[in-house]
């Protein structure tokens, strides 16, 4: 009886193993039948602005139905191309991540078309305690003396002159993958030509400050700036030269009494021993 049970368990185990082997064989054959293409991926982490070479690349099998748009199948097609964004190891290289053909490596490859890169000197306060990192957006504020007319004192004013400015690099680093704050002495900003002129004038007439903003916030707010008097709620003091004296008022002339007319006919009236003179 015991032998029959043992033989039954042995047969059950053999059948289970045979079913598992058949299933595994079918799964392997199905996987081998999936169509795939060769796709070039990064073999190492590639920083933005770097020139690509063969040692940085490798090819892997990629399912044909999910090949990324703009992907490459041959590493030779990427020779001497420059990446304009950071590429991580194992990530596919696509045309959208590369600068145009012929672009030299470095920060210039990262600058958008029609934009300029301009560097301003900062410290730990102006640079938002090192949190103004590559890829972040900042507003630029200037504190300066506002010119006034002759005979009037200059007013100190703080005003936002530029909004939503992209930080390209801090010091000599342009990597956007790092999130740790870095206190540096210079920050490079991406600006239009007109904004570059504004920034150049602003740093020559006053003190600059960078204001960190949310990366998704695209709204702009036009302000007139604020002066010291407005900050402390002081009333505007009108200068003496601006006070206009009221015109002098004419004094009323005294009325002259009408000249008395000389009497023409008079009659003396005597009544009850009393005399009176009546003139006509």
Average pLDDT for the chain:
80
DSSP assignment of 160-178: EEEEEEEEEEETTB--SS-
pTM comes to 0.60
Total number of residues shown for the chain: 280
Say if residue 3's pLDDT is above 90.
no
pLDDT in tens, 165-183: 999 888 877 777 777 888 8
Terminal Cα-to-Cα distance of the chain (whole angstroms): 176
Give the whole-angstrom CA distance, residue 38 versus residue 263. 139
- Using 50, 70 and 90 to split pLDDT, how confident is the model at 263? low
Question: Tell me: the pLDDT tens digits for 60-116?
Answer: 888 877 888 888 988 888 888 888 888 888 889 888 888 888 777 788 888 888 899
**198 in Cβ contact with 120 (< 8 Å):** no
For the chain, the domains span 36-108, 112-231
The second-level CATH assignment, the architecture, of 36-108 is Alpha-Beta Complex (3.90)
Residue 42 CB coordination number (10 Å)? 20
Q: Judging by DSSP bridges, how do beta strands 274-279 and 206-213 pair with one another?
A: unpaired
Q: Is the pLDDT of residue 127 over 90?
A: no
In percent, how much of the chain has pLDDT > 70?
A: 79
Residue 200 has pLDDT above 90, yes or no: yes
Cβ contact 161:195 at 8 Å:
no
CB 132 within 8 A of CB 182: no
């Amino acid at each position: 009886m015991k032998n029959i049970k043992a033989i039954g368990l042995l047969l059950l185990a053999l059948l289970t193993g045979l079913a598992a082997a058949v299933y595994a064989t079918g799964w392997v054959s199905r996987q081998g039948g999936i169509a795939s293409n060769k796709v070039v991926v990064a073999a190492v982490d590639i920083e933005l602005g770097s020139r690509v070479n063969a040692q940085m690349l490798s090819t892997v099998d990629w399912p044909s139905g999910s090949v990324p748009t703009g992907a490459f199948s041959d590493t030779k097609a990427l020779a001497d191309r420059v990446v304009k964004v950071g590429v991580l190891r194992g990530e596919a290289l696509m045309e959208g991540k590369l600068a145009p053909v012929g672009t030299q490596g470095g920060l210039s490859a990262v600058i958008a078309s029609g934009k300029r890169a301009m560097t301003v000197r900062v410290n730990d306060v102006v640079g938002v305690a090192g949190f103004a990192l590559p890829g972040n957006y900042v507003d630029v504020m200037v504190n300066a003396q506002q010119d006034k007319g002759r005979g009037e004192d200059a007013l100190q004013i703080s005003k936002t002159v530029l909004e939503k400015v992209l930080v390209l690099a801090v010091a000599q680093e342009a990597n956007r993958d790092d999130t740790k704050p870095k206190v540096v002495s210079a920050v490079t900003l991406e600006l239009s030509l007109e904004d570059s002129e504004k920034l150049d004038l602003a740093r020559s007439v006053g003190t600059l400050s960078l204001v960190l903003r949310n990366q998704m916030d695209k709204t702009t707010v036009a302000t007139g700036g604020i002066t010291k008097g407005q900050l402390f709620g002081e009333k505007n003091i009108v200068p003496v030269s601006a006070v206009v004296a009221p015109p002098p008022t004419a004094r009323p002339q005294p009325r002259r009494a009408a000249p008395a007319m000389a009497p023409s006919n008079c009659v003396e009236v005597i009544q009850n021993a009393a005399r009176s003179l009546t003139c006509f």
